[in-house]
């Protein structure tokens, strides 16, 4: 994003500096996954919110690096748990370096993030990030418990993604408000923006698993089904489909089989489950836009609003 391009370059400098380790494999694996690209959405949210609140001190760069480290650690662990082989169009770190290296380097990134939190010298920042990390871990365990569970409903699904994905988005925008010493009301509005945006982001991500193009997305289509995840498109398809369609999807979730992937995709599309899921994402994006209205008017606020709108057009 052009508005924070210079800021992101500074964040990348902090990341490069803090990735260094006396253990070559640590630097190698961490560098591999961080250099894979990605949208840097969480740092962008923190930087845009800082800009909207008029906060320009250097702590925003280190905190943006912290949220990126936490996010990267979750990706390393996620790919091991999910046995993923492809991320952002190239082999996952666990595919390249093995599971033990991925788990341990994920641990290194978590601990490096906590070292950097201490440097900020704020108990409030440490509390927010420690709480967020804990909620994310709970979300991961919840998702694990729900694997191959075809009875998961929309409410339980949203609870998982608000814990697992949206919590770090929420923490990113809240951190900017804390750094800027915003009022409690404004801090809450920033946190609501992040949570709603993160929820919309994950719903769209789950839609793309049945709608997207594997080459564009940089991951294997049907990965969620292979992992036995009952995501929103499947939940809605089961609610809306015939008994036979529901039973086919239920069996696919319970067995984690992609033998019937083309049939599952056809049912998801025929039942309007993708449109239904996009509606849920749209409601969350609107909630983010409404929360952003509390911020001072200016180009940074406009960029935050635009970010929420663009999410709905996401294809990768």
Residue 315 falls inside a structural domain: no
* pLDDT of res. 313: 80
Q: For residues 17-49, b (16+ Cβ closer than 10 Å) or e, as one string?
A: ebbeeeeeebbbbbebbbebebebbbbbbbbbb
pLDDT tens track for 266-281: 999 999 999 999 999 9
Give the N- to C-terminal CA distance of the chain in Å, as an integer: 16
* pLDDT of res. 1: 76
Q: Please tell me the distance from the alpha carbon of residue 80 to that of residue 97, in angstroms, as a whole number.
A: 11
pLDDT tens track for 294-308: 999 999 999 999 999
pLDDT tens track for 69-118: 999 999 999 999 888 888 777 888 898 899 999 999 999 999 999 999 99
Residue 314 falls inside a structural domain: no
| pTM for this model (two decimals) | 0.94
Residue 120 has pLDDT above 90, yes or no: no
Residue 142 falls inside a structural domain: yes
Q: Where are the beta strands (DSSP E) in 64-203?
A: 86-87, 90-91
Domain at 151, CATH number: 1.10.600.10
Residue numbers of the domain that contains 254: 2-308
Q: How many structural domains comprise the chain?
A: 1
Residue 182, CA distances (Å) to 63, 157, 175, 190, 312 in order: 16, 32, 10, 10, 29
Residue 128 falls inside a structural domain: yes
Residue 316 falls inside a structural domain: no
pLDDT tens track for 13-23: 999 999 888 89
Residue 8 has pLDDT above 50, yes or no: yes
The residues pairing with 49 across neighbouring beta strands, listed in sequence order, are none
């Amino acid at each position: 994003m052009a508005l924070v391009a210079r800021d992101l370059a500074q964040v990348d400098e902090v990341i490069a500096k803090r990735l260094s380790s006396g253990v070559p494999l640590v630097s190698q694996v961490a560098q591999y996954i961080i250099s894979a690209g990605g949208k840097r959405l969480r740092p962008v949210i923190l930087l845009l919110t800082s800009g909207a609140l008029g906060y320009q001190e250097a702590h925003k760069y280190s905190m943006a690096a912290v949220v990126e480290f936490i996010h990267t650690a979750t990706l390393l662990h996620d790919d091991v748990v999910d046995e993923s082989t492809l991320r952002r169009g190239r082999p996952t770190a666990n595919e390249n370096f093995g599971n033990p290296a991925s788990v341990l380097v994920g641990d290194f990134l978590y601990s490096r993030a906590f070292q950097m939190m201490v440097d900020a010298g704020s108990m409030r920042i440490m509390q927010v990030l420690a709480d967020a990390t804990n909620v994310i871990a709970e979300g991961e365990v919840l998702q694990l418990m729900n694997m191959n569970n075809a009875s998961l409903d929309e409410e339980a699904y949203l609870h998982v993604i608000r814990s697992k994905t949206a919590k770090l988005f929420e923490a990113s925008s809240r951190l900017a408000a804390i750094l800027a010493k915003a009022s409690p009301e404004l801090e809450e509005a920033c946190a609501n923006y992040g949570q709603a945006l993160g929820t919309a982001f994950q719903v769209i991500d789950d839609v793309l698993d049945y709608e997207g193009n594997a080459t564009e997305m940089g991951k294997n289509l049907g990965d969620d089904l292979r992992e036995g995840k009952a995501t929103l498109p499947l939940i809605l398809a089961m609610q809306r489909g015939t008994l036979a369609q529901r039973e086919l999807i239920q069996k696919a979730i319970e067995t984690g089989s992609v033998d019937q992937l083309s049939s599952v995709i056809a049912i998801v599309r025929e039942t309007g489950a993708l449109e239904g899921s996009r509606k849920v994402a749209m409601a969350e994006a609107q909630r983010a836009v409404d929360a952003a209205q509390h911020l001072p008017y200016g180009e940074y606020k406009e960029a935050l609003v635009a970010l929420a709108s663009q999410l709905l057009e996401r294809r990768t």
